[in-house]
Amino acid sequence: MTPVAVPEFQHRTVLLDEAVDALNLGGARADGIYIDGTFGRGGHSRLILSKLGANGRLFAFDKDLQAIATAGQIDDARFEIVHDSFATMRSALAARGVTQVDGILLDLGISSPQVDDAARGFSFRNDGPLDMRMDTTRGVSAAQWLAVETEQQLEKVIRDYGEERFAFQIAKAIVARRAVEPISSTRQLAAIVANAVKTREKGKDPATRTFQAIRIFINQELEDLAAGLSEAYAMLAPGARMVVISFHSLEDRIVKQFLASKAKVEQPDRRLPIRAVDLPQPLMKLVAKIKPSDAEVDANPRARSAVMRVAERLPSKGAQ
C-alpha cells in the first residue's frame, strides 16, 4: 500500500478517559483482547495501550487511509490496525485466530481532521471537492451520487438521514442545478441548499443536515452500525463491556434500542409453574449513559452532542 501523508489537523478525542475507564481494564483484564472499532487519530487506542498488560492485545479498525497511516506510527507489538469497517470485526479477527474479546469501543461519526480537511469534502465551511467518502479507495463520491440519483431518492436520503424538513425543496433544487452544471464542490452544494431552505434554527447553517445526510448515506454508516453492534455482541466474552459513543440521534437510537433488546426479556405468565432458575435471563446489563461535562464541551464544542452508552455481557445460563 502506498503511504498516505497525514495532514496536520488537530483532533480532540471526546470522552477519552470515561470511555477507556468504562472498558474496565483493571486487574487480570489488562491482559485481555480489546477492539477499538473506530481508530480515528488514535486517542482511545493509545490510552488503552497504556493500560494494557504485557500480554494484552488491541485490534483497531478504520476505513480512512489517513487513520491507517497514523496507526502505522504506533510501534507496539500488542497493537494491530485493520483497514476495514468495524462491521467486519468477526471475520477479520477470526482470520487472526481470535473469536472472543474482553471489550469493544465504538466512537462513531467523523473526526475533526476529516471535517477540517477541505479536500475530503465533508464540510461546507471551506470549499473543496464533494467527496465525503471515509475510504477513498472504494465506492462512489458524493458528487458522483448527486449526478445520477433520482429526485425521489435524494429527498428520501436527505429527509431520513438528515431529519431535514425541507428535503423536498432541496432535492428539487439539486436536480435543477445539475441539469445546468455538475455539482462538484462543497460550496456549490451549500449554496444550493441555502437557497432552498428559507428558515433554519438560530446558529445552524442551512446545509448542516443535508451534508450529514449525504455523508451517512455515502458511507453506509447506519447499516455499518447495525451490523457492527451484532458483530460486537457476538464477540464479547462474559463480563466484557461494549462502549459506544454516538453524536446524533439516529446513531444513538440504534445503539439504545440494540442494547435494550439485549438487556430485557419477555417474562412468562406468572400463573405458569416455572421455577425462578428457569426464567428467561437478560443477555446484557446496562451499565451507564454518560454525556461530556460542561468543561469538556467548553474546551471542545464538537463534544456537545455526544452520548456514551455502556453495557456488559452477562454469563449464559448454566455457565460457571
For residue 292, with 0-12 CB atoms within 10 Å meaning exposed, 13-18 middle and 19 or more buried, which class applies? Answer: buried
Binding residues: 42-44, 62, 86, 107, 114
- What are the residues whose beta carbons fall under 8 Å from the beta carbon of 295, sequence distance 6 or more? none
DSSP state of 165: T
CA-CA distance, 153 to 141, in Å (whole number)?
16
**What residues form the annotated binding site for S-adenosyl-L-methionine?**
42-44, 62, 86, 107, 114
Helical ranges in the chain per DSSP H? 16-22, 43-51, 65-71, 89-94, 112-116, 142-148, 151-162, 167-178, 186-196, 208-218, 221-235, 249-263, 294-299
Structural contact between residues 99 and 89, judged by C-beta atoms closer than 8 angstroms: no
